Homo-oligomer: A and B are copies of this chain.
Amino acid sequence: MDNITHILQSARKAKNMTQGELGAKAGLPQSHISQIESGNIDLRLSSLQEIARLLDLDVMLIPVNLKPAIRSIISGKEGEAQKPAWRVDEGEL
């Protein structure tokens, strides 16, 4: 299904959270987190935003022409200080 939901799942696992923990913090039942991650649900924006927030992510609308540049920033090591992402462009994602 949707790529976004897989990102949510791996972000949750990276943070060593269970569906239950995430759900509790998000104010959503564990069963939803399950449905969302398995991709059989078309979740609402507010749910997406809340879950993302708890995983230190944010929902943004990105102009398509800027996606390559932004992907390069993101793929260049998440948490720590950035390596120069402005090496004009080598390999999209």
Point out residues on A near B: beta carbons under 8 Å: 2, 4, 7-8, 11, 42-46, 48-49, 52, 56-67, 69-70, 73-74, 78-79, 82, 85-86
* B69 contacts A58, C-beta separation under 8 Å: no
Q: Which residues of B contact A52 (CB under 8 A)?
A: 61
**Bound: A7/B62 CA distance, A:** 10
Report how many copies the assembly holds. Answer: 2
Contacts of A61 in B (CB 8 A): 4, 7-8, 11, 52, 57-60
Q: Is the CB of B45 within 8 A of A43?
A: yes
Q: Is the CB of A64 within 8 A of B58?
A: yes
Residue ID in chain B nearest A69 by CB atoms: B73
